[in-house]
Structure 1
Amino acid sequence: MPEKRPPGRDDLRGGDAKRARSNQGPPAAGGAPSKAPSQATDIQQKIAEARAKAEAARARIQGRASGGNGVASPAPAASPPPPPPPGGGGRANLEAIKARVAAASAAANATARPRTASPLPPQRSPPQHPPPPPRDAGDGDFRARGGLGVGLHPALLADSQQQDGRAKARPVAAPKLATAAANRRDGSPASKPGRQLDLAAPGADELKGSPYFDPSIGGGGASGRGRHPRQLVFHQKGKFIQQANALRRQAALEAMKKRIAESARKVGLDEDNEKAFLVQNVPEVEWWDEGLVGGPAYPEAPQDARIEADDSIITVYVQHPVLMAPPQEKNAPAPKAMYLTKTEQAKLRRQRRMADHKEQQAKIRLGLEPPPPPKVKKSNLMRVLGEQAVKDPTAVEARVNREIAERRAAHEAGNEARKLSREQRAEKTARNQDRDAARGIHVSVYRVESLAFARHRYLVDVNAKEHGLTGVTILHPRFSLVVVEGGAHGIRQYRKLMLNRIRWTENAQPRGGGEAGGREAEAAWLRGVDEGGELKDLGFNRCTLVWEGEERERAFRRWGSRVCETDAEAKEALGRARMENFWTLAKTAVAA
Structure 2
Amino acid sequence: MNPNLIEIAPGGRPPKQKRKEEIPDIEPWDSKILISATYEDISLEKLNMDRITIYVQHPEPLEPPAKPMTPPPQPLKLTNNEQKKYRTQRRLATEKDRQEMIRQGLLEPPKPKVKMSNLMKVLGAQATQDPTHMEMEIRAAAAEREQAHVDRNIARKLTPSERREKKERKLFDDPDTLDYFTICVYRIRDLSHSEAHFKVDVNARDNRLTGAAVITDGVSVVVVEGGGKSIKRYNNLMLNRIDWAAAVGDEDNDADEEPDKPVNSCALVWQGSVVKSAFPRWFGVRSARVRLLPRWCF
SS in 2 for 1:376: coil
Bigger strand fraction: 2
Cα 1:346–1:443 shift into 2, 3 Å: closer
Q: Deviations over 1:458-478 (max 9, x none)?
A: 443343334332111224454
Asked if residue 552 in structure 1 is aligned to residue 292 in structure 2, the reply is no
Asked if residue 491 in structure 1 is aligned to residue 214 in structure 2, the reply is no
Which residue in the other structure is 1:339 paired with? 79
- How far apart are 1:545 and its partner, in Å? 0.9
Distance 2:75 2:229 in 1: 17
Assess if the C-alpha contact under 8 Å between 1:441 and 1:553 holds in 2.
Answer: yes
Which residue in the other structure is 1:440 paired with? 180
- How far apart are 1:440 and its partner, in Å? 1.4
**For 1:396-415, what aligned pairs fall within 5 Å after superposition?**
400=138, 403-404=141-142, 406-415=144-153
Q: How many residues get paired? A: 230
SS in 2 for 1:500: helix
Distance 1:410 1:551 in 2: 52
- How far apart are 1:566 and its partner, in Å? 2.0
Identity %: 39
Which residue in the other structure is 1:387 paired with? 125
Cα 1:336–1:462 shift into 2, 3 Å: farther
Uncovered stretches (5+) of structure 1, i.e. residues with no partner: 1-290, 293-309, 324-333, 508-524, 531-538, 572-579
- How far apart are 1:558 and its partner, in Å? 0.9
Distance 1:393 1:541 in 2: 80
**For 1:145-544, what aligned pairs fall within 5 Å after superposition?**
312=48, 319-321=59-61, 337-341=77-81, 347-365=85-103, 368-377=106-115, 380-390=118-128, 400=138, 403-404=141-142, 406-427=144-165, 429=168, 433=173, 437-451=177-191, 454-476=194-216, 478-504=218-244, 540-544=263-267
Assess if the C-alpha contact under 8 Å between 1:448 and 1:541 holds in 2.
Answer: yes
Corresponding letter in the other structure for 1:357: E
Distance 2:140 2:225 in 1: 56
- How far apart are 1:555 and its partner, in Å? 0.9
Q: Deviations over 1:155-179 (max 9, x none)?
A: xxxxxxxxxxxxxxxxxxxxxxxxx
Assess if the C-alpha contact under 8 Å between 1:505 and 1:540 holds in 2.
Answer: yes
- How far apart are 1:486 and its partner, in Å? 1.4
Distance 2:125 2:252 in 1: 80
- How far apart are 1:352 and its partner, in Å? 1.8
Which residue in the other structure is 1:229 paired with? none
Structure ID, larger Rg: 1
Which residue in the other structure is 2:256 paired with? none
Assess if the C-alpha contact under 8 Å between 1:438 and 1:487 holds in 2.
Answer: yes
Uncovered stretches (5+) of structure 2, i.e. residues with no partner: 1-31, 34-45, 52-57, 64-73, 254-261
| TM-score, normalised via structure 2 length | 0.57
Which residue in the other structure is 1:585 paired with? 296
Cα 1:349–1:454 shift into 2, 3 Å: same
SS in 2 for 1:560: strand
Assess if the C-alpha contact under 8 Å between 2:244 and 2:266 holds in 1.
Answer: yes
